[in-house]
Amino acid sequence: MKKKILVTGGAGFIGGNFVQFMVNKYPEYEIFNLDLLTYAGDLTKHKDIELESNYHFIKADISDRKRITDLFEQEKFDYVVHFAAESHVDRSIINPEIFVITNILGTQVLLDAAKANNITKFVHVSTDEVYGELDFDPTTFFTENTPLQPNSPYSASKASSDFMVRAYYETFKLPVNITRCSNNYGPFHFPEKLIPLTISRVLNNQKVPIYGNGKNIRDWLHVLDHCAAIDLVLHKGVVGEVYNVGGHNERTNLEVVKTIINTLGKSEDLIEFVEDRLGHDKRYAIDPTKLENLGWKPTYTFETGIAQTIQWYLDNQEWWQQIISGEYQEYFEMQYSKKF
Ligand code: NAD
Ligand code: TYD
């Protein structure tokens, strides 16, 4: 019988790329994409794989205990790769509660279902943001031993879910891995996050909001390098271990925005410095040595990855134009009306 892999959040950005990666790479697995289709989820991205016999979609809420329990009993999944989450820091500042429900409670519901059905491996996809922030000393990095010190409601909810996953390993011997990746970018990135927000606004000749002085640093990784890392951890990760994922691509936000504007041949006058994000983390930077020792290395540099991504947004305007003309406008108004 084919092995069954449940991917939660597979209609979102990273989960969506991962579902496509797995459906194409492993015809011998059955891939189940479970997603609630919140504002961040969309299935149009899967039009190339939706008719594949090894792809299935299930609309469900990970925090719906009865639904999830019944589903696991019925399908007997072998593996779980858990992406589903509320993922945007700015939204967590506006409304933290849904982050607690989805990211903490939803994860715990999945852990219970996985435990009751003796799954082979549960990979919990987390973030480097659980470590808090680094200062600007370029020789310091997050390792797997860095203490968790989350600063935003988003990162606090992810850190809480990480602790719950750890507890199910320590207490119940559930076979888990946790991955903590740096900021991703690439195709199908929802245009509320810095890189797709900048590309879409520059293409529409609109101002690009930079929080504070633009000197905050993020460590950028192409989403397909993240997918390959999760694939490796799923198959080769030592049970109970945490793996950091990152490719040493640190850039200030201002550098990122200028790169996009210059690549698109537009004027840097489009940049507008606006009021800073509350609790804005200064710098994230990953030490990926442990994952490299498992056999992973990234295939994109920031230069090749950002060029590919900008081209993808040029070639797929229908996808993001349709998003920014919907509910997104209300969000943009709420988030930025007092900033510009
Ligand atoms: P995303 O917001 O693009 O997608 C999240 C998906 O989860 C959406 O399809 C949404 O519909 C679904 N979802 C939300 N609530 C749900 C619920 N209650 N039940 C079922 N599905 C639900 O997020 P993303 O950027 O793809 O991030 C995916 C995961 O990776 C998250 O766990 C995030 O913390 C983690 N992560 C993200 C980054 C990044 O740079 N974006 C970096 C490291 C880790
Ligand atoms: P974001 O893409 O929201 O990811 P995260 O907060 O998870 O790192 O933001 C990346 C960086 O860009 C972060 O330092 C905040 C900054 N930023 C802006 O300057 N302006 C914006 O409009 C957004 C959305 C983010």
Residue with the nearest Cα to atom 18 of ligand 1? 61
- Kindly identify the ligand whose nearest atom is closest to the C-alpha of 161: 1
Q: How far is CA 247 from the centre of its chain?
A: 15
Please give the mean pLDDT across all residues of the chain. Answer: 97
What order of strands is seen across the sheet that includes strand 176-181?
Answer: 55-59, 29-35, 3-8, 79-82, 121-127, 176-181, 242-245
> What does the alpha-carbon distance between residue 60 and residue 32 come to, in Å, rounded to a whole number?
12
pLDDT tens digits for range 77-102? 999 999 999 999 999 999 999 999 99
CA of 139 to the centre of ligand 1 (A): 30
Q: Does the pTM exceed 0.85?
A: yes
128 is catalytic: yes
Look at ligand 1, atom 44, and give the residue with the nearest C-alpha.
127
> How confident is the model over 228-287, as pLDDT tens digits?
999 999 999 999 999 999 999 999 999 999 999 999 999 999 999 999 999 999 999 999
Residue in 87, 99, 218 to alter for ligand 2 test, most ligand atoms within 8 A of Cβ: 218
| Tokens 């019925």 -> residue | 74
Q: Which domains does the chain have, with CATH numbers?
A: 3-184+221-245 (3.40.50.720), 187-218+250-279+302-326 (3.90.25.10)
pLDDT band at residue 17 under the 50/70/90 scheme: very high
Mutation pick for ligand 1 pocket among 37, 46, 83, 126 (CB with most ligand atoms within 8 Å): 83
Which position among 128, 133, 219, 281 bears the catalytic label?
128
- Using an 8 Å Cβ cutoff, are 191 and 13 in contact? no
CA 169, CA 162: separation in Å to the nearest integer? 11
d(CA 129, ligand 1 centre) in Å: 14
Check residue 104 and give its pLDDT.
99
Q: How confident is the model at residue 315 (pLDDT cuts 50, 70, 90)?
A: very high
Distance CA 219, CA 185 (A): 10
3-state secondary structure of 37: coil
Does ligand 2 come within 6 angstroms of the Cβ of 260? Answer: no
- Nearest-angstrom CA–CA distance, 142 and 228: 20
Per-residue pLDDT at 327 exceeds 90:
no
Q: What is the per-residue pLDDT across 109-153, written as a single tens digit (0 to 9) for each?
A: 999 999 999 999 999 999 999 999 999 999 999 999 999 999 999
Q: Is 72 in contact with 117 (CB distance < 8 Å)?
A: yes
Q: Are 187 and 149 in contact (CB under 8 A)?
A: no
Confidence of residue 34 (pLDDT cuts 50, 70, 90): very high
Active-site residue identified among 78, 86, 129, 231: 129
Angle at 153 between CA 150 and CA 157, to 5 degrees: 75
- DSSP designation for 221: E
pLDDT of residue 125: 99
Task: Please state whether beta strands 250-252 and 208-211 pair in parallel, antiparallel, or not at all (unpaired).
Answer: unpaired
Would residue 154 show up in a list of annotated catalytic residues for this protein? yes
